[in-house]
Structures are given as C-alpha cells and as structure tokens.
A = this chain, B = another copy of it.
C-alpha cells in the first residue's frame, strides 16, 4: 500500500517550483501524492493547520509537515 503525501500550496511561484521539483519527484511506486490548492480549497485549511502546516508550500507525510521554502503564511489563506 502506498504512503499518502499531501502537497499544500496556493498557486504561488514558490509553490509551483516546489511542486515541480520536489513533490513531483517523489517515488510514485511508494507514495500517492495529493496536491491541494488552499486558495481555492479553503475548506481544507483547517486540516492543513491540524497537520502542522504553518506556511505553503508544505508537504505533509509520515505524520509531519515539511515546509519547503516560503510562499505564503497559512494565516493569509484563512
């Protein structure tokens, strides 16, 4: 069974770069990556916050949030 990884972003340039380079580089045989745009999916901001996301872009996997560079604060997306 694949491990779930969620890439939270807001469509910003920093987010796009992180998605293209890092999120898309994850091994598809081991990880199922879901990409969530928090600017358009406002309903999922709460879930991201609960997972420890403080800014986007961020990758949530193995129960932890990995913030990749800094695009926007999660507070700006609430």
Given known A-B contacts A27-B25, A27-B26, A18 and B66 have beta carbons under 8 A apart: yes
A26 proximity list for chain B (CB < 8 A): 25-27
Residue A73 at the B interface, CB < 8 A?
Answer: no
Given known A-B contacts A26-B26, A27-B28, A21 and B67 have beta carbons under 8 A apart: no
> Which residues in A have some Cβ–Cβ distance to B below 8 Å?
5, 17-18, 20-22, 25-31, 59, 61-62, 64-69
A-B contact pairs, 16 of them (CB 8 A): A5-B25, A17-B64, A17-B66, A20-B62, A21-B62, A21-B66, A22-B59, A22-B66, A25-B30, A25-B61, A27-B27, A27-B28, A65-B69, A66-B68, A67-B68, A67-B69
